């Protein structure tokens, strides 16, 4: 908390807060809980379209899938905790986002894990990577919610740090909607689930400041302890309670613990709350009111119910062997009062906790894009650098540790453009997350637009009509003028791109102060998207013998922030620009081609360019190809730029020859560049062979992640 904020609190309260009140205020006025630096900018994001039932403002957003089914979606970060204690930090990140979905009245059905680390050459980064993956795997597997996709990236700005973002979707019937706020006084507040311990105390304040050099030792107590078995019971008990229709409001206890959950639940509509903190079931002896009120112990939910319904719901919780206690009540007067063994130990206007003033920080533009020439590099060398990059190789080692089949809904499994989950006999839900910090670092506005465009392309590539978005914005300290500028530019880019596609953000998360000892991370917005797809229309992701190979979209020499430049050590350049009209037109064309059955396989072009996209399709179908890159509609006559440019708006499609004329009519920019077949991947330029590799050899390189971790094949 800043000095001017402490002064303001004293003025508004008219006295000096006591120790407990200061602790509660510090939690609620933290960046993590209050969004005080980001709120003014987040208002730029579109939050309504014809699919949106509930936009930002509660624990998760809600999107209409059909008249009987709503989809609930949210995304959270658990960066600081995972950097300090990777297993527990990542696991509790999963637990928290699952409860966010649950407390809207939905059954959680799938997770995504966009995760990022420093270079794998360093032992500390390998340790963080392996234990973050293990934390996500163990927790998700044990609660029976499949992790069906995500993305993994390695970047030098994350050395000894990690970004752990987790997105979750759930399904619900409209009649089961429960809000996170109360609309009447007199309700009883029931705390259900795990006992409250000393873990996670000051978690949100710890997440609202930079990590120091000795964070692993000093901040471990701020990391919550995961208990997936209790979470599984909590999921079933909560849903059974919700289905009675007697739950008036519901909140997950995450950041800020009981203080945050109770004050937000009561304060949103102007009510107050009385909390009897000594009634809270405690895990450890000798706890005091301060510890109880701000502990972030996991696997806890706060229910608001009418007095006459308390016993009925209590029986449900007991059936699942969950502890439950009436810890307070909602009152008319807008105050937040805490009692401890009969003594009033805190008494604050509830607005002082829930209505935190915004902060606008100074901004400073940093122009990093500059003209650079593509280095003289032969095609084969460029290909090997990109294809063997840790950012391009297969992440199967990760998702093979996840049970992505549990619940039996996963129709399109990890490794494709987007996962698809069966919702009913006819339709599925496509779910994907994307981000590109290298692009965003060089140009935050256009990098953010690119993230939205890539999400749309990934949804469309599995035949899905995009419905809605959520965003997770990972940045260094907003007190740095160049960071705050990049944040504002990023939000502008996210807003403009979403508006162009008619999409809305229904939920999101902002994570600031991602830096270790004065080393800020690159600006990293992650965008996750939902789409609706007819199950019988999902195209293949790989080649089949005899199909023609076409390229949709136009290629420019846009290599700034590309995987090729990163591997060659080239800084600068200009990142790809999204042409919104073309991007939208190409997405619509792809959806038409899929619906008409004109294309057999589709894959979007992004990281690693056309070359990587072609070989990924070859490996998926275990079928080779021959292409002539000089036929790619392009602004450049350089085969390396053509192959590895990361221009937006492009797709690789494979189709029977008889459909060629009809496909051509769907796109402004389209060309046939070759044919699928054989056992080799062959690249030509004007008829001259540039590279020939057996698909089996390329597959072995693609599956080399275990080797980078020092594991035996």
CB-based contacts of 471, cutoff 8 Å, min separation 6: 45, 75, 494, 505, 508, 509, 525, 526, 527, 528
Do 524 and 475 touch, CB atoms closer than 8 A? yes
- Residue 341 annotated as catalytic: no
- Residue 176 annotated as catalytic: no
How many angstroms separate the CA atoms of 254 and 93, rounded?
Answer: 10
Give, for 604, the enclosing helix (H) or strand (E): strand 601-604
| 3-class secondary-structure state, position 236 | helix
Cβ neighbours around 243 below 10 Å, total:
14
Name the active-site residue from 78, 441, 684, 702.
78
CB-based contacts of 406, cutoff 8 Å, min separation 6: 141, 144, 145, 146
**Residue closest to 467 by CA, chosen among 160, 73, 126:** 73
| 3-class secondary-structure state, position 407 | coil
Provide the b/e sequence for 12-21 (b: ≥16 CB within 10 Å). eeeeebeebb
Do 379 and 628 touch, CB atoms closer than 8 A? no
Alpha helices, H only, 371-511 = 379-387, 396-399, 437-442, 444-461, 481-501
Q: Which residue has the tokens 């070859």?
A: 618
Burial of 73 (0-12, 13-18, 19+ CB in 10 A): buried
SS3 per-residue string spanning 669-689:
CEEEEEEECCCEEEEEECCEE
How many angstroms separate the CA atoms of 184 and 178, rounded?
Answer: 14
How many angstroms separate the CA atoms of 299 and 226, rounded?
Answer: 8
Q: Which residues pair with 58 in a beta bridge?
A: 56
Cβ neighbours around 66 below 10 Å, total:
12
How many angstroms separate the CA atoms of 501 and 673, rounded?
Answer: 29
Written as six digits, the tokens of 555 are: 């290629």
Do 572 and 368 touch, CB atoms closer than 8 A? yes
Largest separation between any pair of C-alpha atoms in the chain: 87
Give, for 31, the enclosing helix (H) or strand (E): helix 31-34
Measure the N-to-C terminal CA separation of the chain; round to a whole number of Å. Answer: 50
Cα 154–chain centre separation: 16
Written as six digits, the tokens of 216 are: 């692993």
Q: Which residue has the tokens 């591997």?
A: 567
Q: Which residue has the tokens 């504002």?
A: 488
> Which residues are catalytic, by number?
32, 78
């Amino acid at each position: 908390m800043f000095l001017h904020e402490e002064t303001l609190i004293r003025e508004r309260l008219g006295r000096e807060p006591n120790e407990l009140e200061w602790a509660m205020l510090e939690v609620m006025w933290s960046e993590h809980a209050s969004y005080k630096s980001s709120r003014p900018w987040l208002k730029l994001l579109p939050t309504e379209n014809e699919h949106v039932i509930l936009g930002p403002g509660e624990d998760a957003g809600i999107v209409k899938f059909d008249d009987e089914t709503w989809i609930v979606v949210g995304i959270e970060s658990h960066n600081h905790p995972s950097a300090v204690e990777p297993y527990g930090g990542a696991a509790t990140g999963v637990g928290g986002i699952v409860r966010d979905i649950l407390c809207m009245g939905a059954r959680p059905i799938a997770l995504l894990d966009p995760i990022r680390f420093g270079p794998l050459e360093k032992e500390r980064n390998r340790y963080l990577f392996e234990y973050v993956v293990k934390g996500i795997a163990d927790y998700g597997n044990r609660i029976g919610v499949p992790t069906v996709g995500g993305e993994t990236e390695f970047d030098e700005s994350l050395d000894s740090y990690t970004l752990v973002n987790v997105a979750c979707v759930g399904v619900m019937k409209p009649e089961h909607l429960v809000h996170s706020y109360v609309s009447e006084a007199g309700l009883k507040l029931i705390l259900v689930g795990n006992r409250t311990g000393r873990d996670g105390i000051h978690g949100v304040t710890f997440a609202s400041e930079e990590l120091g050099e000795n964070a692993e030792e000093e901040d471990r107590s701020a990391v919550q302890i995961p208990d997936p078995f209790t979470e599984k019971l909590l999921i079933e008990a909560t849903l059974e309670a919700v289905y009675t229709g007697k739950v008036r409001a519901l909140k997950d206890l995450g950041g800020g613990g009981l203080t945050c959950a109770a004050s937000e639940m009561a304060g949103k509509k102007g009510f107050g709350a009385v909390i009897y903190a000594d009634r809270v079931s405690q895990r450890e002896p000798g706890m005091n009111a301060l510890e109880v009120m701000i502990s972030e112990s996991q696997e806890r939910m706060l229910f608001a119910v009418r007095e006459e319904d308390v016993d009925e719901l209590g029986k449900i919780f007991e059936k699942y062997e969950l502890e439950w206690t009436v810890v307070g009540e909602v009152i008319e007067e807008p105050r937040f009062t805490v009692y401890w063994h009969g003594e009033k130990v805190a008494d604050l206007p509830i607005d002082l906790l829930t209505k935190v003033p915004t902060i606008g920080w100074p901004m400073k533009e940093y122009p990093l894009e500059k003209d650079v020439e593509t280095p003289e590099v032969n095609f084969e060398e460029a290909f090997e650098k990109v294809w063997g990059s840790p950012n391009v190789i297969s992440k199967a080692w990760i998702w093979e540790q996840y049970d992505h089949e549990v619940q039996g809904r996963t129709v399109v499994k990890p490794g494709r453009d987007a996962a698809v989950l069966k919702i009913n006999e006819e339709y599925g839900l496509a779910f994907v997350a994307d981000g590109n910090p290298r692009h965003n670092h060089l140009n935050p506005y256009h990098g953010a637009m690119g993230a939205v465009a890539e999400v749309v392309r990934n949804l469309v590539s599995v035949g899905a009509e995009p419905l809605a978005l959520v965003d997770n914005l990972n940045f260094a300290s907003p007190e740095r003028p160049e960071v705050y500028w990049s944040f504002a530019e990023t939000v502008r880019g996210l807003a403009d791109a979403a508006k162009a596609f008619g999409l809305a953000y229904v939920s999101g998360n902002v994570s600031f102060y991602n830096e270790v000892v004065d080393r800020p991370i690159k600006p990293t917005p992650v965008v996750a998207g939902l789409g609706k797809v007819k199950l019988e229309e999902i195209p293949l992701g790989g080649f089949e013998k005899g199909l023609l190979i076409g390229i949709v979209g136009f290629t420019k020499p846009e290599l700034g922030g590309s995987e090729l430049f990163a591997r060659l050590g080239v800084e600068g350049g200009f990142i790809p620009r999204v042409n919104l009209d073309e991007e939208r037109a190409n997405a619509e064309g792809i959806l038409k081609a899929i619906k008409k059955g004109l294309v057999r396989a589709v894959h979007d072009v992004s990281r690693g360019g056309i070359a990587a996209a072609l070989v990924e399709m070859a490996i998926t179908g275990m079928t080779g190809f021959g292409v002539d890159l000089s036929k790619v509609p392009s602004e450049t006559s350089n085969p390396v730029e053509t192959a590895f440019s990361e221009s937006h708006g492009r797709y690789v499609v494979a189709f029977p020859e008889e459909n060629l004329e009809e496909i051509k009519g769907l796109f402004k920019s389209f060309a046939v560049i070759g044919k699928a077949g054989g056992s080799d991947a062959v690249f030509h330029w004007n008829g001259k062979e540039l590279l020939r590799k057996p698909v089996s050899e390329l597959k072995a390189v693609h599956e080399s992640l275990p080797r980078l971790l020092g594991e035996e094949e």
